[in-house]
Amino acid sequence: MFRNEDTGPKLWFNEIWATKSIAKREFQKNNYEIAAQYCEKVLAVSKNDLDTRILLSKCQQKLFKPKLAYTNHMLAEDQFPDKLSVLENRASIMLENDEFEKSLITYLNISKKKVKPIDFTLGVLKLSQIINNSTNLSKKKYKERCLGNTVMKLAELGGLDNTEALNSILSKTKLTCKKKKQSFYLGRLAEDKRFFEAVLESGGPRPPFYKAEKKLLNNMKRVVDSLDVAYDQLYKRKQLFIYRCEKPKMKGDRLSTQINNSNLVKDMTHLTICKYLNLITYLLIQNQIKEAKLKTELMIEFMENNSYESNIILNKVYQCFGMAQYVLFQNINRWNIEKNHRRMLIFLGATKSNIPLQESLFGPFEINPKRTLNKLRARLEKSKSTMEMSFIYYEKAKCYLELGYDNLKNARNKATRCLQLAKEIKNQTWIVNALILLVSIEFQLDNKPKCCHILYKAIAIAYKLQVPGVLIFLEKVAKMIFETNAIHVTRTEKKIMEVLDFMPDVSTRMNAMYKFKRLITMPINL
């Protein structure tokens, strides 16, 4: 695709257009990582392409990379500060970063114009919903619907370029709260709290969690309790977009409100961790493991930046990851027999890879396993949590498994280390996960007797965990072991098969196979 010249890499116009089209299509399919890669290809040769820069920023927002999203947005804003797409992206980034004041003002400044793009109207409505959800929690304290109805009217009043003008308008509005100059916390706590309360009222998460739901329920109860305790602190700590917090008044020797109180700052840190925890748990319950991993990375970064060390929190998080991984190893009832059979063959490495089926077993597919290994290695050096270390070694084993037959022994070493750590902390879920992974690895290494020995150990522990779908899957695998042979595919052969899958017709595929065969058999030293 690239053409090298003295001035550097270039793309022809039609190649740029095609690459941008692929990026947009992948974004619409929710393949944000792939879309971001195509955007980067275009920007490597056309730095001033505004639409591609904005699309890359949006991909990074979806991938929970706020710093990169903001950096790319600023590059676009420096060149085209008044473009509608740039303004919309600025408001979107601020909304994702919980900067509701700036986000709302940006949306409203465009919405009040004669030409109202649909994205800006939807942005105002979305923020209106957040306002209603966040200020109607405690009806004893706050007037019902005190702010939601005023938001759309503000767009017609004008003068919304700064907080002072907004302050002046709202101070004259009858629909504001009874207590003037009251600070509101505009977070997504209401939505989070309602979700967990609904789950608790329904008796907990639905199967296949079974006995494991007790741990999740306890975690949820702590989240709800933390939110209840934090409300009063939060409403004093963070404002909406109406008034700035007044200077604290003295009552004798004590302050009625102290904004910079160290205890209050600590409470806010606790609450932020709490928000991360309940979101990660929610994503895992929804089987969105990839998104949960990204959120966990953000939580760890936040904890490191705030010198917040707590192995208990990390243990809980990675305990949930262990349960989420464990329930993937089960027979999928909604699939037919043929599809479940092929899924088991992929587990044993006895057929060529299929990414959707592979993800149904081992979670998100790693596009670049070597880069992931480097990230995991760096995280392992910092980790002090044994549960987290078990997770890291498990992920490293999966990466080596994806790298092909030549790396199976490395995968076995990492999975064995994961098993040792899981036994140290006596975590049954991670023990079974490590054993099941070792079954796949040993089968591909042609160690069928050892493979069966490990599998029967996993089945014995799985009976105690009482998730029927996993037992069905493992028992079917046990029957297949002596009827199936593993396919030994090198990394190069795996790449060749992936390329051949994209060929449009049989003749093109046969021609490509012939050329690949000639390349493989060609002597290295001519």
Rounded to an integer, what distance in angstroms lies between the CA atom of residue 197 and that of residue 181?
31
Please tell me whether residues 152 and 125 are part of one structural domain: yes
Please tell me whether residues 209 and 279 are part of one structural domain: yes
Helices (H), 261-385: 262-285, 289-305, 311-328, 337-348, 355-362, 369-382
What local confidence, expressed as pLDDT, does residue 254 receive? 37
* Residue 112 covered by a domain: yes
Asked if pLDDT for residue 253 goes beyond 50, the answer is no
One-letter amino acid identity for 359?
Answer: E
What share of the chain in percent tops pLDDT 70?
57
Per-residue pLDDT of 188-217, as tens digits, reads 344 444 555 565 566 544 444 434 445 445
Range of the domain at 517: 491-521
Lowest model confidence (mean pLDDT) among 216-220, 484-488, 492-496:
216-220
What local confidence, expressed as pLDDT, does residue 288 receive? 85
Please tell me whether residues 368 and 474 are part of one structural domain: yes
What local confidence, expressed as pLDDT, does residue 115 receive? 59
Lowest model confidence (mean pLDDT) among 149-158, 165-174, 177-186, 494-503:
177-186
* Residue 471 covered by a domain: yes
Please tell me whether residues 372 and 510 are part of one structural domain: no
The better pLDDT of the pair 119, 134 is held by 119
Q: Mean pLDDT, the chain, as a whole number?
A: 70
Buried b / exposed e over 50-88, threshold 16 CB at 10 Å, is eebbbbbbbbbbbbbbeeebbebbebbbeeeeeeebbbb
* Residue 320 covered by a domain: no
Please tell me whether residues 103 and 148 are part of one structural domain: yes
* Residue 252 covered by a domain: no
Please tell me whether residues 514 and 478 are part of one structural domain: no
Lowest model confidence (mean pLDDT) among 190-204, 360-374, 390-404, 407-421:
190-204
Please tell me whether residues 460 and 509 are part of one structural domain: no
CB atoms within 10 A of CB 308: 16
Rounded to an integer, what distance in angstroms lies between the CA atom of residue 197 and that of residue 58?
32
The better pLDDT of the pair 150, 96 is held by 96
* Total domains, the chain: 4
Q: Is residue 191 a contact partner of residue 134, using CB atoms and an 8 Å limit?
A: no
CB atoms within 10 A of CB 437: 28
* Residue 317 covered by a domain: no
* Residue 512 covered by a domain: yes
* Residue 321 covered by a domain: no
* Residue 466 covered by a domain: yes
Asked if pLDDT for residue 7 goes beyond 80, the answer is no
Please tell me whether residues 395 and 513 are part of one structural domain: no
Task: Tell me which of 141, 171, 201 is where a domain ends.
Answer: 171
The better pLDDT of the pair 144, 284 is held by 284
Asked if pLDDT for residue 421 goes beyond 80, the answer is yes
Question: pTM, whole model, 2 decimals?
Answer: 0.51
Smallest CA-to-CA distance from 200 within 293, 318, 270, 281 is with 281
Please tell me whether residues 146 and 270 are part of one structural domain: no
Rounded to an integer, what distance in angstroms lies between the CA atom of residue 336 and that of residue 339?
6
What local confidence, expressed as pLDDT, does residue 265 receive? 55
What local confidence, expressed as pLDDT, does residue 309 receive? 74
Please tell me whether residues 451 and 495 are part of one structural domain: no
Instruction: Please compute the mean of the pLDDT values over residues 256-271 and round it to a whole number.
Output: 52
Instruction: Please compute the mean of the pLDDT values over residues 20-43 and round it to a whole number.
Output: 88
The pairs formed by 136-139 with CB atoms below 8 angstroms and a separation of 24 or more are: 136/190, 137/190, 137/193, 137/231, 138/231
Please tell me whether residues 386 and 350 are part of one structural domain: yes
The better pLDDT of the pair 158, 311 is held by 311
Q: Is residue 167 a contact partner of residue 242, using CB atoms and an 8 Å limit?
A: yes
What local confidence, expressed as pLDDT, does residue 184 receive? 33
Rounded to an integer, what distance in angstroms lies between the CA atom of residue 333 and that of residue 504?
33
**CATH code, domain with 52:** 1.25.40.10
Instruction: Please compute the mean of the pLDDT values over residues 76-95 and round it to a whole number.
Output: 86
What local confidence, expressed as pLDDT, does residue 513 receive? 62
Per the listing, tokens 């990204």 go with: 294
Tokens of 1: 């695709």
Please tell me whether residues 57 and 201 are part of one structural domain: no
